[in-house]
Structure 1
């Protein structure tokens, strides 16, 4: 590699040869490709799933949950059924909750009622819905944040 070439003005011009550098880079690339160990992918891990459940005492309880939405305009929604804001006694709601509770009892599953009041709902309406749940003898009542 000749680094001391002179141009017409007598100044030394520095040049770098690229071809040997490319050869070195390719040799390093081949070296690292050959020496790198192969990583086993997660999908290649073998395992066996159980085919049958051998425990006859295993009982899976799927709870019955009634989600009651209380909208900003004081309408109550349970499973697509709307109850008007003027209905303060909510007798139809009580009957529907009792029916869901009977379904849960017939399946021997736990029964839950989840209230989702809108953040601008009047508190009086929430109390009326809670009274309807008490009239239906609901044991488990929870509150959730509305979406």
Structure 2
């Protein structure tokens, strides 16, 4: 992951974790916890859980964009961490495409994408992080690197 990608991802005003999970054994829980620990403004997306780690979640990506827009008085700059199977990720990318420039960056966690979803994302999102980079392993250093450049 390049320094420019790190900077673009962490320069967003809001963060969304698609696939947030209340199950502590799942990566969706661990990644969401990482954002909370980093004190980043994050919204979890899970269609079947209304709360994860004591934080309210939303049922859809569209709901997350609406919440971010409301929190920022209509201006949105969102970065998205994706922790869903590629089939669900493909549908997510189609939804992201509907929001135009609101989504600044997508960070695909390992296993959340395939060649098709990666290509889809690269066509609609300015910055796409993939190739095995994981927020749990690389997030602290990436956030520090971006923070020193902000």
- Is TM > 0.5 for Structure 1 vs Structure 2? no
TM-score category, normalised to shorter length: 0.3 to 0.5
> 1 or 2, which has the higher helix percentage?
2
Determine which structure has greater relative contact order: mean sequence separation of CA pairs < 8 Å that are 6+ residues apart, divided by chain length: 2
